[in-house]
Structure 1
C-alpha cells in the first residue's frame, strides 16, 4: 500500500521527468546557487566564532614544506600540464561519445600484423572507442613521464603530504574559500592544504583508478583469467569509471575557475612561462593553448579520424 509520502515523491519525479533539458539545467543551477549561498553564510558564521578563529590562527591554511623542497614551477611541468589538459579534455569527450552513441559512424579493426598477432578474427570496435583508447595510451605515457620526473626533481614534495597538519590546514583553507575571504596563496612557493590534497588525490588516486578501470573494460584485459575476473568483475570497473570521469570534470571546472579568480595573470605565468611575474605572456600562451584544444575538439570527428585510424587498422562504416 502506497503512503502519502511515496505518492508525493512519485509526483515530484513525474514533474522532473516532464521538464525539458534546459529546464532541468536551469532548476539544477538555481538549486546549486541556493546551496552555495547557504554554504557561504554558514562558513562566515563559523569563522566569527572564537574557537574557529583560534583554530585558523593555528592552522592558517598551508603546511610548511621540507627544507629541501624546490621553489617555482619548471618548464617541463608546464608542458606536462598542457599535454595532460589536452589529452584529458579529448578523453572525456570521446568517453562520453562511447557511452552515449548507439550507432557509431564507423568501426575499426586492428591490422593483424607485426610482432603481436591476434588468433582468429580481430575484434571490431567503434571508431569512437579506438580514439578513446588511443588517447588513453598517450595520457598514460605522459603520466608515467610526469611521475618519474616529479620524483627525480623533488617536485613531489609540493603535492604529496609530508605532515599531518595538512588536514586541519585544508579545513581552514576550505572555510576561507567558502566564506569568499579566500586564502592568500603563493603557488610559486607552496600550495595551501586543500590544493595539496586535491592535487594528490587527482594524480595518485583518481588517475590510477581511471587507468585500472579503463584497462579492465578494454580488450587488452585477459578474458580467460577466470579467478582474476571474479575478484575484479567488469561491473565493478564500470561502476567506478564513470564517477571518476565526473570527478575530473568537476576538478577541471573548479581548478580553472580558481586560477582565473585568484590572480589570473600571475597564476598563468607560473604554469606557462615558469616565472613569478605579473604580465600578459602567460595569458597569451594560455589563450593559444585553448585555440589548439578547440581545434582538436572540432577535428575529433569521423571525417578526420578515419585517415589516422586507417594507418593502424581497417576502418569500416
Structure 2
C-alpha cells in the first residue's frame, strides 16, 4: 500500500498542471526581512527541557488514566481532606513546569525574532505546504535548510503544536485539576468538565503522533545536520549534535525510570503529606 501511494503521488506530481503548481509554490516562501539565521543556545535548552517534560507528562498522564486504586496519595498541608494520587500530583507538577517553560519560550521567541520561523507570515504557506506534503509522500524530500528557513509544512506543524495544541492541553488540564474552582456554578456550566476530558486525551495523542513523525523525519532527512542545528548550535555536519542528543535521551530515560513512588514521595512531602491509598 505504501509503495502504491508513493507511485501514485509521483505520477500526480509529474502531471503538467502540477509541475506548474510546484514551480510557483516550491514548498517554502521567503521569511520577512531581518529574520534571524540559525538557532541561539536558549532554543536548544528550551527544546530539550520541553521534550523531557512532555515525555514524563505523557507517562504520568497515562498512569493516572489507567490507575484505578492508587497505592500512594498526596494531600496539601492546608487541606488534608483533599487527596489525589501521587501520580496525579506528579502529572500536575510537571504541567506547571511545562507551562512556565512555555511562557519563557514564547517571550524569548517574540523578543528575538525567532517567531518568524514558526508563525506563518504569508498565505503562500498553504499551497507551499501542499507541495512539501507531496514531496514527503513521494519520498522526494523537500529541500532542507532548517538553519535558515523551515518548509511550509514544518512551519504549520510547529505553529499548530505551539499555539494550538499546547494551549488546548493547558486549558483542558486546568479544568480537570484541583486549582479549578469547584463551587463556581456559572463557570462550570459555561465550561463543563466533560468538554475538557473530550479534548485532553486527543491532544495527548496528537503530541505522541507529532513526536513520532518529527523524530522520524529528523533522522531520515539528514540526521547529523538536523541534530547539530538543535543540539550542537551550528550548521556543520559533524557528530556533536548527535552525541548531545544521545545524552539527552539518557537523561529522559533516567527520568522515566525514576518516576516511581520511591523517588517521587520524598519530593511530594516537601509540598504536602504523602500516605498510603
TM-score range, shorter chain: over 0.9
1:1-317 alignment, distance < 5 Å: 34=1, 36-112=2-78, 118=79, 121-317=80-276
Structure 1 runs, 4 residues or longer, greater than 4 Å off: none
Unaligned runs of 5+ in 2: none
CA distance in 2, matches of 1:269, 1:78: 10
Post-superposition offset of 1:38: 3.8
Aligned residue pairs, count: 276
- Unaligned residue ranges in structure 1 (runs of 5+): 1-33, 113-117
Shift of 1:189: 0.2
TM-score (norm 2): 0.98
Q: Distance in 1 between matches of 2:8 and 2:206?
A: 25
Please, what TM-score do these two structures have when normalized by structure 1?
A: 0.85
CA distance in 1, matches of 2:70, 2:270: 19
Higher relative contact order (CA 8 A, sep 6+): 2
Deviations 1:213-245 (A, max 9, x none): 000000111112211211110000000000000
Displacement, 1:66? Answer: 0.3
- Whose Rg is larger? 1
Q: Report deviation, 1:105.
A: 2.1
Q: Give 1:158 deviation, angstroms.
A: 0.6
Q: Provide the secondary structure at the position in 1 that maps to 2:75.
A: strand
Deviation of 1:45 after TM superposition, in Å, equals 2.1
